């Protein structure tokens, strides 16, 4: 298997690297979460060993970002602290297993094999922007505690917005999310559906979270 090791401590990183290579596995090492996200996007890994304590983005933030980008590579989190809070935080962002330092390489390998056998499981966490929440797994949407019924197109649009809060999404980018290439009435369909969406997620709540950016597209405000 091919493993990505994300660990800034040189000694631990080289120990893992040596272990994998001795075992006949391919392994790459990176020191930061930022690099790990980039590497996971360009190379297929069967598993990622991710330390929690990293410079810059920590392990949980790194994992959350990977899952947000739709990368479901099995991840084993290394934590120095055997705290319940760490485990819960990791589970919430989509970790597959944990190992508390210090550990034996044999145990790490056994756990890694187990999660690799299970394969890539899609387990997106709930997306949240302000008091708007969207669960891609159950296809539910809430504003605060009120559940909102959306059609599949409206849901797809909102999901696109909520995966990139604060970013301006062009009409073409939004079309890609919810309409197939053959759709030919592309001129104002997005404007129409954005309006439907506002009727459901904004206007009844006195909110104004989807803004029109003239000549560019639409943006879901991060802090409406």
3-state secondary structure of 180: coil
Query: Contact letters (x/-) for Ca ion, 6-35, by CB under 5 A?
Result: --xx--------------------------
How many angstroms separate the CA atoms of 79 and 53, rounded?
A: 7
Looking at beta carbons only, is 81 or 203 nearer to Ca ion? 81
Looking at beta carbons only, is 53 or 168 nearer to Ca ion? 53
- The nearest distance, CB 50 to Ca ion, in angstroms, is 10
Which stretch, 23-31, 50-58, 97-105, 116-124, contacts Ca ion (CB under 5 A)? 50-58
Q: What are the backbone angles phi and psi of residue 67, rounded to the nearest 5°?
A: -65, -40
Examine residue 51 and tell whether it contacts Ca ion (CB under 5 A): yes
Q: What are the backbone angles phi and psi of residue 66, rounded to the nearest 5°?
A: -60, -45
Reference 141, options 215, 70, 53, 204; nearest CA is: 204
* C-beta atoms surrounding 25 within 10 Å: 17
Question: Position of tokens 């485990």?
Answer: 87
Examine residue 58 and tell whether it contacts Ca ion (CB under 5 A): no
- The nearest distance, CB 89 to Ca ion, in angstroms, is 16
Looking at beta carbons only, is 78 or 134 nearer to Ca ion? 78
- The nearest distance, CB 79 to Ca ion, in angstroms, is 10
DSSP label at residue 153: H
Which stretch, 45-53, 56-64, 110-118, 148-156, contacts Ca ion (CB under 5 A)? 45-53
Looking at beta carbons only, is 9 or 135 nearer to Ca ion? 9
Give me the residues paired with residue 127 across strands: 134
- The nearest distance, CB 62 to Ca ion, in angstroms, is 12
DSSP label at residue 202: I
- The nearest distance, CB 161 to Ca ion, in angstroms, is 35
Looking at beta carbons only, is 32 or 170 nearer to Ca ion? 32
Looking at beta carbons only, is 9 or 65 nearer to Ca ion? 9
Examine residue 53 and tell whether it contacts Ca ion (CB under 5 A): yes
How many angstroms separate the CA atoms of 204 and 148, rounded?
A: 10
How many angstroms separate the CA atoms of 80 and 23, rounded?
A: 25
Which stretch, 47-55, 95-103, 175-183, 187-195, contacts Ca ion (CB under 5 A)? 47-55
How many residues bind to Ca ion according to rule CB under 5 A? 4
Contact (CB, 8 A) for 75 and 54: no
Q: Output the CA angle 183-166-41, nearest 5 degrees.
A: 70
List residues near Ca ion by CB under 5 A: 8-9, 51, 53
């Amino acid at each position: 298997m091919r493993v990505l090791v994300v660990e800034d401590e040189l000694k631990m990183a080289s120990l893992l690297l040596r272990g994998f290579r001795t075992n006949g596995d391919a392994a790459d090492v990176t020191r930061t979460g930022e690099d790990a996200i980039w590497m996971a996007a360009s190379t297929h890994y069967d598993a990622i060993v991710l330390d929690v304590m990293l410079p810059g983005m920590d392990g949980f933030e790194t994992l959350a970002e990977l899952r947000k980008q739709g990368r479901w590579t099995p991840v084993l989190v290394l934590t120095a602290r055997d705290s319940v809070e760490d485990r819960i935080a990791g589970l919430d962002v989509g970790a597959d297993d944990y190992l508390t330092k210090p550990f034996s390489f044999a145990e790490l390998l056994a756990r890694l094999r187990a999660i690799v056998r299970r394969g890539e499981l899609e387990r997106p966490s709930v997306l949240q922007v302000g008091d708007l929440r969207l669960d891609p797994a159950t296809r539910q949407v809430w504003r605060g505690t009120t559940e909102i019924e959306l059609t599949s197109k409206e849901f797809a649009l909102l999901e696109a917005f909520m995966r990139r809060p604060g970013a301006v999404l062009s009409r073409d980018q939004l079309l890609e999310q919810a309409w197939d290439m053959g759709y030919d009435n592309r001129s104002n369909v997005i404007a129409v559906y954005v309006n439907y969406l506002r009727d459901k997620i904004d206007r009844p709540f006195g909110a104004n979270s989807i803004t029109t950016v003239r000549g560019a597209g639409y943006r879901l405000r991060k802090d409406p």
